[in-house]
Chains A and B, each alone.
Chain A
Amino acid sequence: MQTANLLPLVLVLAVVAYGLAYMRSRAVAEPLGGIRNLKSLPFYYAARAALWSAIPALIVLALWASFEGKVIQNVVMGSLPADLAPQSEGQASLTLSQISNVAAGKLDPALVPEGIAGAAGLLESLRAQSSQFKAILVLLITVLGAAFAWTRVMPHINARENVERTLRGIFFFCAAVAILTTIGIVFSVIFETVRFFGKVPISEFLFGTSWSPQTALRADQVGSDGAFGVIPLFTGTLMISAIALLVAVPVGLLSAVYLSEYATKPVRAVVKPLLEMLAGVPTVVYGFFAALTVAPFIRDVAELIGLEASSQSALAAGLVMGIMIIPFVSSLSDDVINAVPRALRDGSLALGATQSETMKNVIFPAALPGIMGGILLAASRAIGETMIVVMAAGLAANLTGNPLDSVTTVTVQIVTLLTGDQEFDSAKTLAAFALGMLLFIVTLILNVFALKIVRKYREQYD
Chain B
Amino acid sequence: MTDQRSQAEIVRQSLKRRYRKERRFRFYGIAAIGVALLSLVILFTDIIGKGYTGFIKTTITLDVVLDGEVMYLQDAADPEQLDMADFQAPIIRALQQYFPEAQDRRDVRELSRLAGSYASNQVRDLLKAQPELLGTTQTLEFLAHDSVSVYVKHADNPSYSIRLSEQQQRWVDQLVADGVIDTAFNDVLFSRGDSREPSNAGILGAIVGSLLTMVVTLVIAFPVGVAAAIYLEEFAPQNRITDFIEVNINNLAAVPSIIFGLLGLAVFIGLFGMPRSVPVVGGLVLALMTLPTIIISSRAAIKSVPPSIREAAEGIGASKMQVVLHHVLPLAMPGMLTGSIIGMAQALGETAPLLLIGMVAFIVEVPDGFFSSATVLPVQIYLWAGSAEQGFVELASAGIMVLLTFLISMNALAIWLRKRLERRW
Q: Which residues of A contact B (CB under 8 A)?
A: 4, 66-67, 69-70, 73, 160, 164, 167-168, 170-172, 174-179, 181-182, 184-185, 187-189, 191-192, 250-255, 257-259, 261-262, 271, 274-275, 277-278, 280-289, 291-293, 323, 326-327, 330, 354-357, 359-360, 377, 380-381, 383-387, 390-391, 411, 414-415, 418-419, 424, 432-433, 436, 439-440, 443-444, 447-448, 451
Contact = CB atoms under 8 A, between A and B. Distances in A.
Contacts of B211: none
Contacts of B37: 271, 274-275
Nearest to A442: B256
A139 to B, nearest CB: 22
Contacts of A415: 258, 352, 355-356
21 contacts: A67-B272, A168-B321, A171-B235, A178-B249, A189-B266, A251-B32, A258-B26, A259-B33, A261-B29, A278-B40, A282-B378, A282-B403, A288-B397, A323-B39, A355-B22, A356-B26, A357-B21, A380-B254, A391-B386, A433-B262, A443-B254
Given A171-B228, A433-B262, A447 B251 contact: yes
B31 interface: yes
Contacts of A414: 258, 262, 356
B46 interface: yes
A387 B382 contact: yes
A383 B256 contact: yes
B352 A386 contact: yes
Nearest to B227: A174
B255 interface: yes
A187 B270 CA distance: 12
Contact of B255 (A274, A277, A356, A444): A444
Contacts of B244: 179
Determine chain A's interface SS by DSSP, over half rule: helix
Given A160-B319, A282-B407, A386 B40 contact: no
Nearest to A411: B258
Interface in B370-398: 370-371, 378-379, 381-382, 385-386, 393, 396-397
A327 B270 CA distance: 37
Interface stretch (B65-73, B142-150, B183-191, B288-296): B288-296
Interface stretch (B56-64, B116-124, B169-177, B343-351): B343-351
Nearest to B380: A284
Contacts of A171: 227-228, 230-231, 235
Contact of B351 (A261, A291, A387): A387
B295 A69 contact: no
B25 A178 contact: no
Interface of B: 18-19, 21-22, 25-26, 28-33, 35-37, 39-40, 43, 46-47, 50, 223-225, 227-228, 230-232, 235-236, 244-245, 248-252, 254-263, 265-267, 270-274, 288, 291-292, 295, 319-321, 345, 348-352, 355-356, 358, 360, 370-371, 378-379, 381-382, 385-386, 393, 396-397, 400, 403-404, 407, 411
Contact of A285 (B231, B262, B345, B381): B381
Given A259-B33, A275-B36, A451-B250, A184 B267 contact: yes
B251 to A, nearest CB: 6
A70 B273 contact: yes
A177 B289 CA distance: 11
Contacts of A288: 47, 381, 385, 396-397, 400
A161 B360 CA distance: 49
Contact of B273 (A73, A360, A377, A433): A73
A188 B262 contact: yes
B82 to A, nearest CB: 26
B30 to A, nearest CB: 6
A185 B263 contact: yes
Contacts of A277: 40
B382 A289 contact: no
Contacts of A355: 22, 25
Nearest to A382: B256
A231 to B, nearest CB: 20
A395 to B, nearest CB: 12
Contacts of B260: 185
Contacts of B18: 354, 357
Nearest to A186: B263
B219 to A, nearest CB: 11
B266 A281 contact: no
Given A167-B321, A274-B37, 12 more contacts: A69-B274, A73-B273, A172-B231, A174-B224, A178-B248, A178-B249, A178-B291, A179-B245, A188-B265, A258-B33, A356-B26, A390-B352
A382 to B, nearest CB: 10
The 4 closest A-B pairs by CB, nearest first: A384-B256, A258-B29, A282-B349, A188-B266
Given A411-B256, A444-B251, A419 B29 contact: no
A443 B258 CA distance: 12
A181 B288 contact: yes
B258 A384 contact: yes
A283 B400 CA distance: 11
Contacts of B403: 282, 285
A86 B323 CA distance: 60
Contacts of B360: 419
B367 to A, nearest CB: 15
Given A250-B32, A414-B262, A188 B267 contact: yes
B32 A255 contact: yes
A356 B224 contact: no
B21 A178 contact: no
Looking at B25, B37, B358, which has the most chain A CB atoms within 10 Å of its CB?
B25
B259 A439 contact: yes
B382 A391 contact: yes
A378 B124 CA distance: 57
B40 A254 contact: no
Contact of B252 (A178, A191, A255): A178
Given A178-B291, A178-B292, A66 B33 contact: no
